[in-house]
Amino acid sequence: MMEVDKHGDVTNSSQEKTVFDDSKELNPILTDLFTDRSQGPAGSVQVREVLSHLKKNGLRPLTDPRFDEFMRQMIVEHSGHGDHVEVKKQVSVEEFQAAGRSCPGLLNRALSCSLAIPEFKEFCTQIKSIYDELRNVKGGKNAQYIPQLARVNPDYWGVSVCTVDGQRFSIGDVNVPFCIQSCSKALNYAINVTEHGAEYVHQFLGKEPSGRGFNQIHLDKNGLPHNPMINPGAISCCSVLRKEDSLAERYEYTEKMYKKMAGGEFIGFSNATFLSEKSEADRNFAIGYYLKEAGVFPEGSNLKETLDLYFQLCSVEANCDSAAVISATIANGGVCPTTGEVCISPDAVRNTLSLMNSCGMYDYSGEWAVEVGLPSKSGVAGSIFIVIPGVMGFCVWSPPLDELGNSYKGVLFAKKLVELFAFHSFDGVLVDQTKTDPRLHHERGTQEINNMISAALSSDLVELHRCLELGMDFNLPNYDSRTPLHLAVCAGNTPVVKYLIKTCGVEVNPVDRWNSTPLDDAIKLELHDLVKYLELQGAVRGADVARGFTGVSKVRYGDVLRKEQDLF
């Protein structure tokens, strides 16, 4: 007996239910896509195919902590000559479903290609092309004020991205450590607001762009440093950071917070840079004394310790790969995408993003807000943390700086990024939308299919015609490989069936995931007129399609997935 479920699809009570609770169980339909039944009806899930599919979607199942438990079930440990671990070739469907219970939501979204960036492979290809285009570009100069920064290889060039779903892509010198320098300013502010609330923190610093160089000695109209993204405000921020504790504990705590935001990935410390910073720090000492005289710091704070903490936090190291996770944590509302740990409060994220947007790129911040339109923070070692709220975080790193102190190549990268993709915060208002939006591809596809299917089911010829005018593909199947024609037949609406075949030119024998063609549905529902009509149009039954009687080669969604090659 056919019935319409609450999603508007038709289910057959003899078939398994397709409505599925994403939060607890792995969708059996998705497991099915990776199940080989050639050796018997129970079938076995091809583990390597699953892993390569996850990797193609930017996930790192072998190191991503969200997959820890799942992966434990997917490997065999060999003991003997030096223990080693190997990925199983296949597991039973039951084993796979059981393992999937440790991360069902993530696996469901990954296996159905519905992560933050659904077509991640294509997206990475485009990021790589920007990276390659800039690889040999020369321009700018390393920061000279301390030897450790001046002597870094100026040809280092790395780009890393991490989406809010933890999809990763890194290219170039992405594992080379660099000091995060002023990028620490955004993090320190975020940590402070998380700890104390914005109202308290802003007793010691403002929110306005200064219109002056990052290390100018200057206060705003309220007698406070302008904002936390440049030195006076950043030093003030350090005076607040865990101020009750010893310097050692304050540093330790903050470094741990950075590491937490980086999902436990690489965070180091360059003592040489710290010592140089400190010995070359006349200007920062001058700023510090000026702030102290103006009564900016919280009561009882020790200037020397505050500055030490400031220099130390500038000397913390990350690499592009780990720093992209930090940016992604900010993009993800303060929750680390790869560990799920809450690092920064939503309020603090909102404030941090606002100030990164208006003040994060030194005296280029206004220009950046217009040209790039993404909250970002740059550091004098050549890194830029770029955040696309709700979508992803980038870290780009190239040591030579332009005259305003931002990474020369990093700025070019960001400009090209928003030329290509609709990522600028205000791109949504563009009428003539020529840029692509990698967030939407999948959504749009799913939406289109759902529209067509519900129009077919409800016999809405007007809507179907609109879809046709928009150039939609009426052969596209839904998650059960059912097409508008299947649904129109189930609705028993001959005019719509005729419209789909004659006007839209749809394939007459699409096969759904139960191997049924529209003719099978018509026969099952005893719709004799439709059976006759379909047969006249060359319709055959699913079993015949399977035996190759028609020469129709209908590739199903699962087969397409299986054929995809592993890019990385």
Task: Name the site residues for ligand GLN (rule: CB under 6 A).
Answer: 181-182, 214-215, 231, 277, 284, 314, 379-380, 405
Smaller CB distance to ligand GLN: residue 117 or 314?
A: 314
Smallest separation, CB 7 to ligand GLN (Å): 52
Asked if residue 181 lies in contact with residue 314, where contact means CB atoms within 8 angstroms, the answer is: yes
Distance of closest approach, residue 234 Cβ to ligand GLN, in angstroms: 7
CB of 405 vs ligand GLN, minimal distance in Å: 6
Q: Least Å distance between CB 407 and ligand GLN?
A: 11
- For residue 152, give the amino acid letter: V
Residue 214 vs 413, nearer CB to ligand GLN = 214
Is the Cβ of residue 181 or residue 236 nearer to ligand GLN in the bound state?
181
CB 188 within 8 A of CB 241: yes
114: amino acid identity, one letter:
S
Q: Which is nearer to ligand GLN, 284 or 345 (CB)?
A: 284
Distance in angstroms (rounded) separating the CA atoms of residues 200 and 198: 5
User: Do you know the residue count of the chain?
Assistant: 568
Please state the closest distance from residue 383 (CB atom) to ligand GLN, in A: 9
At 342, the amino acid letter reads V
Choice between 380 and 455, CB closer to ligand GLN:
380
| Segment holding 443, helix H or strand E | helix 440-457
Q: Is 71 or 229 the residue whose CB approaches ligand GLN more closely?
A: 229
C-beta of residue 65 within 8 angstroms of C-beta of residue 339: yes
Least Å distance, CB 231 to ligand GLN, is 5
Residue type, 522: A
Q: Which residue in the shown chain puts its C-beta closest to ligand GLN?
A: 182
CB closer to ligand GLN out of 306 and 332: 306
Cα–Cα distance, 55 to 60 (Å, whole number): 6
Rounded to the nearest whole angstrom, what is the least distance from the CB of residue 286 to ligand GLN in the complex?
A: 12
Closest distance to ligand GLN from the beta carbon of 300 (Å): 24
Rounded to an integer, what distance in angstroms lies between the CA atom of residue 444 and that of residue 449? 9
Query: Three-state SS string across 161-194, please?
Result: EEECCCCEEEEECCCCCEECCCHHHHHHHHHHHH
Query: Shortest distance, CB of residue 400 to ligand GLN, whole angstroms?
Result: 14
Rounded-to-integer distance, Cα 285 and Cα 300, Å? 18
| Strand extents, DSSP E, 22-126 | 35-36, 44-46, 75-78, 84-87, 90-92
Torsion of CA 412, 415, 421, 423, to 10 degrees: 130
Residue 181 or 254 having the CB closest to ligand GLN: 181
Residue 44 CB contacts under 8 Å (≥ 6 apart), including other chains: 35, 36, 90, 91, 92, 93
For ligand GLN, the closer of residues 215 and 458 by Cβ is: 215
- Enumerate the β-bridge partners of residue 386: 376, 394
Report residue 170: phi and psi, to 5°. Answer: -140, 135
